[in-house]
Amino acid sequence: MHKFLVGLTGGIGSGKSAAADYFAARGVTCVDADIASRAVVEPGGPALQKIAAHFGPDILNSQGMLDRTKLRHIVFADPSERHWLQNLLHPLISRWLRDRISEASSDYVILVNPLLIESGQHSWCDRILVIDLPETLQIARTMARDDNTKTQVQNIIKAQSSADIRRAHADDIITNDQDLEHLEHAVTKLHREYLTLCQTPRE
C-alpha cells in the first residue's frame, strides 16, 4: 500500500526540525534523514570503517564514534570529499528511510531532509513542503544555535540547493521569519490539508 509522503526540506537554520516537531505533535510519523545519517555510521557498521579508512583514524573520537563536527568541517570545505561521502552514505540512508516510512502507521508521513532535492528523494514524495526564510536570518539563527562562524554557515548554505531551486520544487512554502506561534499555525493549516489529500482516492 502506498503511503502518502510529504517531503519537508529547507536550508540550514530554516526551522525544519521545529516544523517537524509540530507535525509529530499531531500524530504524524516524521522520518528524519539526519537520524538516518547517524544510524548508518554507528560503530561496528561498514560505513564507519570506510570513513575512518578514507579520512584517517582522527575522524573518530575517543569512544570510537564518528566526530561529526570534524567531518562536517572537512566535507563542506572540499566538494570532492563531500561527494565521496555522499556516494558512500546516500544508498544506506535511502534504505533506512524507506524501511521507516513503510513501517509508519499515521495517515501520512513526513520525510525530513535538508538534501531532499539533491538526494533525489523528492521523487518519492506526493507533496513537497519548503521551510523558507531570508538568508541573513538563516545565517544569524545558525550561528546562534551551532556556534559556527559566518564563513562556516555560508559554506554549508552554498553546499545545499539554492533557495530558488527548493522553491521551484515546492508544493507548499512556509516563510518562517516570525515566531514559533506563527510556524505552528502554518503547520496546523497544512496538516488539515494533508489529511484531506491523503484520504482522497488516487486516479
Percentage, residues of the chain above pLDDT 90: 61
pTM: predicted TM-score of the whole model, two decimal places? 0.81
The CATH architecture that domain 5-196 belongs to is 3-Layer(aba) Sandwich (3.40)
Q: Starting at the earlier edge strand, list the strands of the sheet with 109-112.
A: 29-32, 109-112, 5-9, 127-132, 172-175
Give the whole-angstrom CA distance, residue 27 versus residue 194: 13
pLDDT at 144 over 60: yes
Residue pLDDT, tens place only, 118-139: 889 999 999 999 999 877 777 7
pLDDT at 163: 78
